[in-house]
Structure 1
Amino acid sequence: MYKVLLVDDENRITRGLQQIIPWKQLNCIVAGTAYNGEAGLKLAEEIKPDIMITDINMPYMDGLEMIAALKKNHHTTKFIILSGYSDFKYAQRGIQIGIQNYVLKPVDEIELENSIKEVIKDIEQERYNKDQLANMHPPLYASHLQERHQTGVIKDIQDYMVEHYASNLTLISIADAFFINPSYLSQLFMKKTNTTFLQYLTNIRIKKAEELLKKTDLKVYEISSQVGYKDSKYFSKMFERTIGAKPVDYRNQN
């Protein structure tokens, strides 16, 4: 998950951003909010966000001063600037310190979402380049670095699957959500979990179905729908293949 920090002196803005952007779908989490540059700088030092979305004109320390301070301390955070038309002089200063991601106020949610996606692509590209650079020099370190990154990606995907198992998850939809090639994801998932993506998803769904069969009076077709299977006959087939008993028999036994 990518950690996001929101900084704006208007509480309604930070509150609104948390609501209008589908953070989970972008594999992001809002790790904190701050209401001026000084507080934003302090919080960024603590949580080390991957992405910071910040206003420019704020009390105590403006957004660009905060960004400059973080860059001076070699933070790898990516920044998205929220600015009004009247802030053009600030935008010029931002370009001078290397900020290219601007979204005009009032914020258009689609524009901001697209900007976040672009930043995520930049982060992934930099990580990939870092891995490739390491591969050219110390092989043992490079191998360890790549292994650690791959493990982290798969852990994030597993967490995502546990949370969204009831929706229409596919290898392609997950690959798109995490900006990964589907074929590569399939191979990596098998390598890290010793099972296929589909089998892992099936196990999550069947385990949840077991709980519902034990603890509720829901009908089999209702449970089938709740755990992500539109076809209750197919659900029963998968349940029996996994558990060794039909759903009704399992309920009676337990």
Structure 2
Amino acid sequence: MFKLMIADDEARIRRGIRKAVAWEQFEIEVVGEAEDGEMALSLAQKTCPDIILLDICMPFLNGLELITKLKASDKECMIIIITGHDEFEYMQQAIKLKIFDYILKPVNKESLKDAIARAIEELKKVRDRRNYLDWVNKQFDNNINTLRHSFVNSWLSGNMPFEAVVNELKFLRINIDNNVGILIIKVLDRFNTEVVSKKWDNRLLSFAIINICYEVLGDFEPIFNYVDNEDNIMIVFNIDNPYEWINIGTSIEEKILKHLKFNILLEQRRISNGIVGIKQAYKSIVNVINEKAMLKPVVLLAIKYIEGNYFSNDLSLEVVAEQFNANPSYLSRIIKQETGSSFIDYLTNLRIKKAIFIMDDPTIKIYQVAEMVGYSNQHYFCKAFKKVMGISPTEYRGGSGIG
């Protein structure tokens, strides 16, 4: 059923319009009458009519003012003006307001029926278009994850032009700011063979890991996720707090191990150039993860322990070796063979990388940064920083280290 409202200050005309048409034949219900403009506005807001028969000259609020207010409130309805021959100047203004039609007084039944029939035909077209768009939007919403995966796969593995990437991101409702974080996770199958074979397939496992990541990320606002053809899980999210962000990876790794009983490799990176940097960071991180995945088990476990405890100023080769019942000299030698770095160099580089993340927050003092990454002595931290970066922490924070 369509809803119709009659607004005219003459009761005689309102009664005549009601009796002039067998409204049920048009599938129309007359939802109300109004004798002045203010009453008509209130009634229209309450009943949301599809068609309004509207006198152009009414007290308190004339027809033109009423139409303007209805348009401003996004009321979509077919407005048919009822007007006299001497009101043509008003009609010109009404036409500019995009009324559907007008009928001259005295109201002729056939003219009224013809206007109503055409309004109903137009309303049906509008409904059909709206129903189609609703269907399209529903289909889009139902398939958006598949569309996003397909796009991200093409973006990261192909040579999609920048403009095309921007357009697709907008179409798929993916909003990427300049300051974002990227996490990539790889399940270590050789450490989890028994668990994988008994409980999980790759798709279900990825889903469970992504859910845990989103739970840990919390206020960091995940933007999108992606699982590539090698089952690497990537999550891109906004970064508000640089210091809290550096510990996200450790928290995720601990929670996955606790709840899913899986060992993983996790790498994270902050990107300050948004869309441009994501593809490059993705490829770089995947290469790092693949290199780590090829390490001997004892070296990989040692590295994971270092990355989870880098902030302890008591961390030493002996402490790490003790965790795995390994000989310190043997562990030192095999770490050097597998990674190309000595234990102390690996630890120092990791600490400086973490320090750089923290230093993005200008409220944290240099001595506090040093303590946060495992240095009890600021002087020693500055010396280590300069050895790795070529400049002091103060120079880096001043902008010299930003490239």
CA contact (8 A) 1:6 1:33 kept: yes
Question: In structure 2, do the counterparts of structure 1 residues 15 and 141 end up closer, same or farther at CA, with 3 Å as the change threshold?
Answer: farther
Q: Which residue of 1 aligns with 2:54?
A: 54
Offset of 1:137 from its aligned partner?
Answer: 3.8
Equivalent pairs counted in the alignment come to 142
- For 1:66 and 1:101, the matched residues in 2 are separated by 16
- Report the secondary structure of 1:24's partner residue: helix
* Paired position in structure 1 for 2:84: 84
Which structure's CA Rg is the greater one?
2
Match in the other structure for 1:109:
109
Distance 1:30 1:100 in 2: 18
After TM superposition, list the pairs within 5 Å mapping 1:63-78 onto structure 2.
63-78=63-78
| Superposed counterparts of 1:1-254, under 5 Å | 1-139=1-139
Contact 2:78 2:100 in 1 (8 A): no
8 Å contact kept, 1:134–1:141: no
Query: Once the two structures are superposed, what CA deviation does each residue of 1:49-103 show, in whole Å capped at 9, x if it has no partner?
Result: 1111010011111111111101110011211100111110111101111113011
Distance of aligned partners of 1:140 and 1:63 in 2 relative to their CA distance in 1, 3 Å threshold: same
Task: Name the aligned partner's letter for residue 3 of structure 1.
Answer: K
- Equivalent AA in structure 1 for residue 19 of structure 2: Q
Partners of 1:116 and 1:134 lie apart in 2 by 26
Structure 1 CA distance for aligned equivalents of residues 109 and 91 of structure 2: 20
Higher-RCO chain (CA-CA 8 Å, sequence separation at least 6): 1
For each residue in 1:99-148, what CA deviation from the matched residue of structure 2 results, as whole angstroms up to 9, or x when unmatched? 13011111001111110011111111011112223344431779xxxxxx
Deviation at 1:30, TM superposition (A): 1.0
RMSD of the TM alignment (CA)? Answer: 1.6
Which AA in structure 1 matches 2:86?
S
Q: Distance in 2 between matches of 1:112 and 1:33?
A: 17
Tell me, which stretches of 5 or more residues in structure 1 are unaligned? 143-254
The one-letter code of the counterpart of 2:109 is E
- Contact 2:103/2:111 (8 A) holds in 1: yes
TM (norm. structure 2) is 0.34
> Do the aligned partners of 1:37 and 1:63 also contact (CA within 8 Å) in 2?
yes
Contact 1:4 1:29 in 2 (8 A): yes
Deviations 1:22-52 (A, max 9, x none): 1111111111000011110011111111111
**Distance in 2 of aligned mates of 1:66 and 1:96:** 14
State the distance in 1 between where 2:114 and 2:87 align: 22
- Separation in 2, partners of 1:27, 1:137: 28
After the TM superposition, which of the residue ranges 90-99 and 127-136 deviates more from structure 2?
Answer: 127-136
* SS of 1:138 mapped into structure 2: helix
Q: Is the 8 A contact 1:7 1:54 kept in 2?
A: yes
TM-score for both structures, normalised by structure 1: 0.54
Which amino acid in the other structure matches residue 26 of structure 2?
L
Q: Which amino acid aligns with 1:86?
A: D
Partners of 2:109 and 2:21 lie apart in 1 by: 7
Contact kept, 8 Å, 2:100 with 2:119, in 1: the verdict is no
Counterpart CA distance in 2 for 1:118 and 1:87 is 24
- For structure 2, the 5+ residue unaligned runs are 143-403
